[in-house]
Amino acid sequence: MKKLYTIVKHKALFSFLLAGLFANTASAQVCGNVQEDFDATGGSTAGFIGNFTHSQSGGDGYLAKDRVIASAIYSITSPTFRLASATDFVGYGFDLDGSERVARVEVAIMYISTLNNEMVTIFLNQFVPSYNTAVTPAVANVCRVVSTSELPGFPAGGQYRLRFELTPNTGNGQVGQYISFDNFRTNGTLSQAALPVNFVGFSARKTVGGTELTWKVGGEENVNRYEVERSTDGRSFTTIGTVLSGKLDTYSFVDPTAASTVYYRVKNVDNDGKFKYSSVARITNGKLEIVLKAFPQPVMNNLTVQHPVIKRNGLIVVSTADGRIVKSIRPSVGSMQTNVDMTLFQKGMYMVRFDDGEGGAETMKIVKQ
């Protein structure tokens, strides 16, 4: 689904996109002012997490990823920002620099949706950054917007985080082959209250040493630790290990125990004691499946379907007990959960079928109150 918009009623935005200019005044009107230039952060990443580290050249600071490899993906997740109540679009921008150019940028936004009071991750856009070759090294100035009307359940004055995944065009892992990220812009303001961590990926695979679990998170703020839990029946879970927060976006843990069928999930625990669970992964005879879940059960209005990460054309189909299809939804690429509005459905039992777009499908029963 297209998520980049020209909002005509914002005259400055329309003029900017129409002319294709990147003047500082236009960028401020569309993307917001520079929220972080990384110049005076004391060597820290200023709350941005991912694969990048802080670098300093004289008085100029920036985030950099060295030893990049062409076609690899490197991520940056912003701290939490808050949009003004009267603002109906989220603007974002940044500058790309370095010895290697970025071939592709993928953008996602994370926020707590009013539809289900859950953290959601919405894929916004994928694009090729345009570099200014009149300067050396070439620099790409990114400035884009998304209308809040296209963000399901985005609250007025809501908090959000942005995740950028950058794919270099060149590089073979040598020292000095780097990409840089600088002058982050958005039209929100830095929020003192951080959004909770969001699980954006969870996988498990058999290795020589046991089962390796890997989970990817977005926006790790106020997180104390991750507790790895295991079950043999998918209902009763036991903690088998703990991984302390390291301000990373990817973590892993190896379970040396062997079993024909075993279930895993990860519990993130914040410094204030609040917690949240990842999806449940099931391994049967070495084959991995993400367990399909839907909640609340029974449902009155909005059903949240938790499913494997969507890589291509996934599909959720809701049908009545006698097989009549009443709703079809295409989950967003990169998402792990999808909201289904069942407000107008009649009471009774329904079947929810999830198709991952890669040949895998699973069906479950739900009850509408």
- Would you give per-residue pLDDT tens digits along the chain (369 residues)? 223 322 333 333 333 333 333 333 344 458 899 999 999 998 899 989 888 999 998 889 999 999 999 989 898 999 999 999 999 999 999 999 999 999 999 998 989 888 767 777 788 888 999 999 888 888 999 999 999 998 888 999 999 999 999 999 999 999 999 999 999 999 999 997 777 777 777 777 778 888 889 888 876 777 889 999 999 888 889 999 999 988 787 899 999 987 778 889 899 888 877 788 887 888 877 676 767 778 777 888 778 887 877 777 788 999 998 888 999 888 877 777 787 888 889 999 999 988 877 777 778 888 888
Reduce the DSSP state of residue 343 to 3 states and report it.
Answer: coil
The DSSP output letter for 78 is -
Q: How many residues does the chain have?
A: 369
d(CA 45, CA 84): 25
Tokens 């998918």 appear where? Answer: 234
Give the pTM. Answer: 0.63
The DSSP output letter for 69 is B
Reduce the DSSP state of residue 324 to 3 states and report it.
Answer: coil
List beta partners, residue 147: 89
d(CA 150, CA 314): 19
pLDDT reported for residue 369:
85
Q: How far is the CA of 99 from the CAs of 65, 138, 169, 215, 252, in angstroms? A: 11, 9, 11, 30, 31
pLDDT reported for residue 37:
96
What is the helix (H) or strand (E) element at residue 29, kind and residue range?
helix 24-31
pLDDT reported for residue 22:
38
List beta partners, residue 219: none
pLDDT reported for residue 116:
67
Other CB atoms within 10 Å distance of the CB of residue 246: 12
